[in-house]
Every structure is written in structure tokens, then in C-alpha cells.
């Protein structure tokens, strides 16, 4: 995921994962922020400015949007099945 000024990407990238599978998100950002993961239960992933990686696990099958909180941009849509 990238954040450069007001530009946030990718835009609604389609991903798939099995329930309980670890998803790695790589960040390259010019500011700290937070992702909001619309899963059940909902999750929040904080990221620092600079480059970093975070792991995310979604347990419940379904379609899950991952949104960059400040811009409300949907960066990924994960199909969990």
C-alpha cells in the first residue's frame, strides 16, 4: 500500500484468502495512518510513516473491504473462502 500526499493506492485491489490465512500488507507511506478492516470482528491496522509490513488474519468467510481510514479509500477487497 502506498500513501504519497493525497494519493492512496492501490484502488480496490482484489485479493483472495482462506479463513485464518495470514495476509501480509507492505506499506510505503509518507505519513502514519490506519487501515480499517471491515471483517467480523472489525480490525484496525496502524502503520508508521516509511516502509513497513503488517500481517492480518481474517477468520470469517465473506467479502471484506480494507479502507485507509483518513482518506476513506478502499485499497483492497478480500474474498475469504
Percent of the chain with pLDDT over 70: 100
Mean pLDDT of 18-39: 97
Query: Is the distance from CB of 73 to CB of 35 less than 8 angstroms?
Result: no
Q: What b/e sequence results for 31-40 when a residue is b if at least 16 CB atoms lie within 10 Å of its CB, and e otherwise?
A: eebebbbbbe
Q: Specify the pTM.
A: 0.92
**pLDDT value at residue 72:** 94
- pLDDT bracket for residue 46 (50, 70, 90): very high
DSSP code, position 30: S
Class of domain 2-80: mainly beta
> Where are the domains positioned within the chain?
2-80
Cell of 35: 487501515
Question: Nearest-CA neighbor of 56 among 21, 27, 29?
Answer: 21
**pLDDT value at residue 3:** 95
Amino acid at each position: 500500500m502506498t500513501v504519497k500526499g493525497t494519493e492512496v493506492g492501490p484502488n480496490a485491489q482484489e485479493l483472495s484468502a482462506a479463513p485464518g490465512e495470514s495476509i501480509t500488507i507492505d506499506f510505503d507511506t509518507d505519513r502514519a495512518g490506519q487501515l480499517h478492516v471491515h471483517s467480523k470482528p472489525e480490525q484496525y491496522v496502524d502503520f508508521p510513516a516509511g516502509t513497513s509490513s503488517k500481517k492480518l488474519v481474517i477468520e470469517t468467510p465473506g467479502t471484506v473491504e480494507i479502507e485507509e481510514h483518513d482518506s476513506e479509500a478502499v485499497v483492497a477487497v478480500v474474498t475469504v473462502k
